[in-house]
Amino acid sequence: MNAMLRMLLLFLLFFLTSCEKYVGYNLDAEPLPVTVRISGSVRDFYTNQPLEGVRVRFGDYQTSTDQSGFYQLDYPYGTDEERNKPVELLVILKKYLPFHESVILPPITYIRDFRLVRGAPIIQKVVLPPFTTNSGRQIYVCQAQVKDYQGVVDIQLVEALVYYQFPGNPHLSKYRKELTLVYELSDTTAYYEGIFPPFLSDGSTIYRRYEIYAVNRSGLADTLVALRSPTQPDTFLFTPVLDDTIPEIVP
């Protein structure tokens, strides 16, 4: 009987030590990471140029790209229940189409590059040189070259805001006018033109500063502020095509 009891005790001791070896908690094991290091770059889809200031958002956490288009973010990995669940990803930059999708983040690191599509028009060139009509009138011709990757047909409006100044008065008057599409260089690029008087009815004369504004059917816009040279007139982008229909003095 004593022999059988000793054998039973030895069996139990062996069983317990085996369980500790195979199912016991290993204090030396590496803990699961608490954050995921997310990084990558954001570039223009058409030009491949790096984009600065892009807002990159994963869930409730976000960061922005630097001058080289690089971004980095440490995202909390969460509890076991939160892992392997989709995270909302959003990439946003003004004048570009937003990028959105749901992603499942792996542990430790996640590298993701983006190529954003420019959605807004691009005002490429503008001039405002003086011009003498066949009737001898002095006018100013505003010309602009505008590009839209979605096509010229997507450009809804191109307009110029020209400033005028009364001698000795710092106050500036404004004259805003829509420019007319006169020639399509390609499916995405076109010339626009409008004519402006040298002075307004209040006696103010045309000033150096003017602005061009372009917006497309998606509501995305571009604005360019330009200054005429007081000594060297701008060179025309193309031969003026508009007729002499502007009033001598704008009320």
How many percent of the chain have pLDDT more than 70? Answer: 81
In sequence order, the β-bridge partners of residue 62 are: 57
For residue 84, the model assigns a pLDDT of 78
pLDDT exceeds 90 at position 5: no
And the tokens for 173? 């008057």
Are 193 and 180 in contact by the 8 Å Cβ rule? The answer is yes
In sequence order, the β-bridge partners of residue 39 are: 72, 111
For residue 23, the model assigns a pLDDT of 43
Q: Which CATH number fits domain 122-227: 1.10.20, 1.10.10, 2.60.40, 3.30.300?
A: 2.60.40
The full set of domain ranges for the chain reads 35-116, 122-227
Report which listed range, 1-5, 15-19, 167-171, is most confident. 167-171
Going through the chain in order, the beta strands assigned E by DSSP cover: 35-44, 55-58, 61-64, 70-76, 87-92, 99-103, 109-111, 114-116, 122-127, 130-132, 138-147, 155-165, 172-178, 180-184, 189-196, 205-216, 221-227
The tens digit of pLDDT for each residue in 74-117 reads: 999 766 556 778 999 999 999 999 999 999 998 889 999 999 99
**Mean of the pLDDT values across residues 198-218?**
93
For residue 55, the model assigns a pLDDT of 98
pTM: 0.77
Comparing 35-116 with 122-227, is the CATH topology the same?
yes
Band of pLDDT at residue 22, cut at 50, 70 and 90: very low
For residue 137, the model assigns a pLDDT of 87
CA separation for the pair 12, 17 (Å, rounded): 9
The tens digit of pLDDT for each residue in 148-199 reads: 999 999 999 999 999 999 887 888 899 999 999 999 999 999 999 999 999 9
Are 206 and 162 in contact by the 8 Å Cβ rule? The answer is yes
- At the second CATH level, the architecture of 35-116 is Sandwich (2.60)
